[in-house]
């Protein structure tokens, strides 16, 4: 009871404090405003009410209250009434958010965001401890070293997870669709952020480029990688933007520039304030050859990566395949406040050349939905809401530069939808407990000289791996092993080669079991030009419509 009273009192008092402070800021404007301005007058009346509550609480509340804490809590509470991307920062938080531009740190290798009370994984970073152990986008971090981080600020949570390279941290995770909490024991490593970690020519003559995020070096890195691929005589290019959380807007525009040339509208912003309405055009007199480009996206592709994919689609310079992107198309601006505090406010939304708005309103609603935060809504219900929103978005039709139909309403809808296969429970456990990585380290101690770049895991190697897994308390039936035997062989092969010959060689092997990439490469076998790809995509779209019509 006492706790409830304290909580209620804090809410009332903090709201009053904010009201009193705002009065000081607005009173001058109100006094000097036209008396007939009813909106200004109404604001003054409400703020006057806040001040009355403030004085009554200060005079009569049973215990002394910490005004500073209440003010910060009240401001953050105010931010909860707007979209989830608008944040208030204390001085320490604001300084870190504004200046934390290091290229490396000792950590786990995850991009995170605060969603409700939970620190949530936006995307694991390839080649890092978190990625190797199978931490997934959407995982909610509940504990760090046994201590709860639910409700803890992003900054404090990061401090708990980062540390000296080589030290151990245990994180507990709540995973959608998994009943029990998962526990990961991770050794911290130096995390280096490379914008384009993988770029090489595939066996079928197609170039492959993975863009992890859009940072300050992305354009220069892309130019260098494209020059190398083109010198090798590629007949097409796959740009993989899956789980790319975005980054710098200008880099997204400049990378699109490489394919569409100078003076082309890529994106524009629209907001309530006139100064937020801006257009962004390409500015470099550069354009690559006309080889077909396929852009691969999924529901973890967000922000700048959506601008890139949607612009390639709008200018008919690339075929977009995969799954509908995340839909992060709002613009935030940082405003410094007094005493070192700061605020990040959503000021506008992104629209790409065809006129489509990238932002998906459903995401903001879900992030605010108490049922989602409390785990009172199932994964199936959320997926159903997302499907309904996507179907509704298809009612808003826009057109590319050549007249192809594309859809608005949030996120980038691919020209060809390709689903990704999901891991079995055994596969999840093998990754979560770092079985492949740890076994490959031990394996190379005894077999280093006999492992060549052409190494392929044998049946004996697989059986030894499974025995190793049992020591990690992973329980399984043979039928489970048989169902993913090819995947186990591929993962083991890739990990052993990766330990000896580097991450790029491991990645090439792992891609062989990537179902989305496999289907993407098949498109190049069916079509030799981008025009043929567009025609193929239209054919698939019409076939789908006919099937849906027949099923009704």
Q: Which of 539, 545, 508, 518 minimizes the C-alpha distance to 322?
A: 518
1 alpha carbon, distance to own chain's centre: 41
Among the listed residues 264, 328, 344, 508, the single catalytic one is: 328
Residues linked to residue 331 through DSSP beta bridges, in sequence order: 348
Q: Phi-psi bin for 147: left (phi > 0), alpha (psi -120 to 50), beta?
A: beta
Residues 6+ apart with CB under 8 A from 146: 170, 172
8 Å CB contact between 297 and 123: no
| Cα distance between residue 462 and residue 488, in whole Å | 8
Among the listed residues 314, 364, 429, 461, the single catalytic one is: 314
Does an H or E element contain 114, and which?
Answer: strand 110-115
Is 69 tagged catalytic?
A: no
| Cα distance between residue 410 and residue 325, in whole Å | 8
Is 454 tagged catalytic?
A: no
Read off the DSSP letter of residue 247.
B
Q: For tokens 């934390």, name the residue.
A: 100
- The CB-side HSE value for 309 (13 A sphere, CA atoms) comes to 40
Does an H or E element contain 71, and which?
Answer: helix 67-79
| Cα distance between residue 330 and residue 271, in whole Å | 10
8 Å CB contact between 341 and 88: yes
Residues 6+ apart with CB under 8 A from 272: 347
Among the listed residues 303, 311, 354, 440, the single catalytic one is: 303
Is 262 tagged catalytic?
A: no
Is residue 240 classed exposed, middle or buried when 0-12, 13-18 and 19+ CB atoms within 10 A define those classes? buried
Q: Is 414 helix (H, G, I), strand (E, B) or coil?
A: coil
Catalytic residues: 303, 314, 328
């Amino acid at each position: 009871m006492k706790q409830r009273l304290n909580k209620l009192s804090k809410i009332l008092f903090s709201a009053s404090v904010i009201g009193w402070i705002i009065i000081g800021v607005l009173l001058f404007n109100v006094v000097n405003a036209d008396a007939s301005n009813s909106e200004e007058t109404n604001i003054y009346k409400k703020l006057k009410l806040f001040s009355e509550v403030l004085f009554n609480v200060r005079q009569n509340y049973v215990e002394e209250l910490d005004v500073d804490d209440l003010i910060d809590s009240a401001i953050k509470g105010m931010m909860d009434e707007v979209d989830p991307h608008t944040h208030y920062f204390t001085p320490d938080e604001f300084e870190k958010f504004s200046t934390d531009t290091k290229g490396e740190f000792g950590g786990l290798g995850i991009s995170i965001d605060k969603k409700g009370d939970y620190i949530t994984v936006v995307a694991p970073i390839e080649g890092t401890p978190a990625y190797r152990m199978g931490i997934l986008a959407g995982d909610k971090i509940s504990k760090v070293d046994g201590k709860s981080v639910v409700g803890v600020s992003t900054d404090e949570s990061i401090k708990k997870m980062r540390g000296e390279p080589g030290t151990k941290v245990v994180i507990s995770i709540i995973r959608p669709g998994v009943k029990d909490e998962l526990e990961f024991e991770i050794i911290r490593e130096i995390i280096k952020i490379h914008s384009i970690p993988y770029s090489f020519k595939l066996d079928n003559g197609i170039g492959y480029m993975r863009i992890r995020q859009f940072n300050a070096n992305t354009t220069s890195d892309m130019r260098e990688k494209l020059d190398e691929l083109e010198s090798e005589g590629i007949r097409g290019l796959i740009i993989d933007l899956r789980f790319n959380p975005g980054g710098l807007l200008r880099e997204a525009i400049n990378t699109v520039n490489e394919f569409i040339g100078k003076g082309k509208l890529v994106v524009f912003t629209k907001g309530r304030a006139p100064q937020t309405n801006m257009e962004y055009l390409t500015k470099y007199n550069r354009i690559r050859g006309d080889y077909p480009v396929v852009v691969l996206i999924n529901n973890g592709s967000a922000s700048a990566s959506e601008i890139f994919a949607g612009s390639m689609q709008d200018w008919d310079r690339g075929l977009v395949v995969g799954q509908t992107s995340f839909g992060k198309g709002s613009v935030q601006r940082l405003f410094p406040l007094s005493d070192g505090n700061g605020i990040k406010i959503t000021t506008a939304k992104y629209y790409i050349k065809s006129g489509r708005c990238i932002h998906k309103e459903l995401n903001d609603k879900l992030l605010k939905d108490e049922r989602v935060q409390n785990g009172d809504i199932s994964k199936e219900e959320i997926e159903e809401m997302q499907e309904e929103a996507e179907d509704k978005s298809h009612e808003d039709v826009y057109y590319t530069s050549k007249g192809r139909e594309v859809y608005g309403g949030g996120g980038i809808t691919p020209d060809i939808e390709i689903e990704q296969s999901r891991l079995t429970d055994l596969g999840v456990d093998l990754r979560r407990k770092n079985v492949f990585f740890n076994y490959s380290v031990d394996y190379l101690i005894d077999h280093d000289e006999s492992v060549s770049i052409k190494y392929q895991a044998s049946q004996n190697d697989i059986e030894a791996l499974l025995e190793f897994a049992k020591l990690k308390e992973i329980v399984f039936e043979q039928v489970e092993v048989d169902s993913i035997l090819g995947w186990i062989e591929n993962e083991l092969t890739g990990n052993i080669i990766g330990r000896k010959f580097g991450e790029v060689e491991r990645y090439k092997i792992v891609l062989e079991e990537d179902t989305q990439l496999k289907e993407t490469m098949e498109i190049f076998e069916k079509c030799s030009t981008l025009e043929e790809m567009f025609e193929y995509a239209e054919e698939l779209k019409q076939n789908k419509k006919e099937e849906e019509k027949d099923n009704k």
